[in-house]
Amino acid sequence: MARFADAPSPEASRFTRDRAVVVPSRSSEFADLLISEGVTVVQVGDLGDGLDNGADESLAYRMLETITRTAAAHVTVLPADPGLVEAADEASIRAVAAGQDVVVVPCASPVQVLAAVAVHDPRRRAGDDVVAMAEAAAATRRGEVVVATEAAITWTGACDAGDVLGFADGEVVLIEPGPAELDALDRAVCGVVERMLTMGGELVTALLGADAPDELATELEDFLRREHPETDLVVYQGGQRDAVVVLGVE
């Protein structure tokens, strides 16, 4: 007869794997990219759908379900933008209360998620792996190029609906007058990258949005080859609808 101390505990029997990474994704293209890296994805709606309290609660519940379904003893959650952090925190609190070890690593952009996933190593101790992912995310500078949906006043000046806005680390750094055609988008993307590279960087990551012209990646590649030949470029189809391009510099 097995001794009582040797019998598996109910809590231990819940877990069939040691480690998992969970990421909420707003597009199927970004989800596919993550799944190919072994990440468990929670598909969520676009930012434009809005997240009222009820939607937040529903998202937290779906994230909790996904975390539980991984059957992993330790789960790292990487929210891909600030609007998903609250739901991720709520889901993690509930999962921890149920006996699962869950950590949310702050990520303000999908490119920071990709940087964190790139250094994920399940062979490391869980705590060390979380630290490595958090450091990689924090070290990745983020940028975006979006089309203004209405007139507004920014730190850079006034913009009209249809103008192209370039963001670096959450702040507007340039405005290209509309319409948002290839030339204006190209100037904005290259302008944002140029500003981000003033602080150094060896790798530029570009996630093309659902409305990004096919030629935009080629224009960025030509710009970097001409102005920053020491910098590598990686381009993915991100599929996001809130930004024409999401940029990362490492």
Angle formed at CA 119 by CA 118 and CA 121, multiple of 5 degrees: 115
Higher pLDDT, 214 or 120: 120
pLDDT recorded at residue 9:
42
Pick the CATH number of 18-138 from 3.40.50.510, 1.10.540.10, 3.10.580.10, 3.40.50.10240: 3.40.50.510
What is the rounded average pLDDT of the residues 199-214? 94
What is the three-class DSSP state of 179? coil
Class of domain 141-249: alpha beta
pLDDT, tens digit, for every residue of 104-133? 998 999 999 999 999 999 999 999 999 999
Instruction: Note the pLDDT of residue 59.
Output: 87
Beta strands 141-147; 40-43: pairing state: unpaired
* pLDDT for res 56: 61
Q: Where in the chain is the domain with CATH 3.40.50.510?
A: 18-138
Q: Is the pLDDT of residue 1 over 50?
A: no
pLDDT tens, 55-80? 567 889 999 999 999 999 999 999 98
Which residues make up the CATH 3.30.1180 domain(s) of the chain? Answer: 141-249
Closest CA to 37 of 23, 48, 49: 23
CA nearest 175: which of 196, 158, 198?
158
Q: Strands of 72-77's sheet, edge to edge? A: 40-43, 17-25, 72-77, 101-104
pTM of the model: 0.88
Q: If DSSP codes are grouped into helix, strand and coil, which group holds residue 129?
A: helix
- Is the pLDDT at 50 greater than 70? The verdict is no
Q: What is the model's pLDDT at position 38?
A: 93
Q: Is 71 helix (H, G, I), strand (E, B) or coil?
A: coil
Q: Is the pLDDT of residue 34 over 70?
A: yes
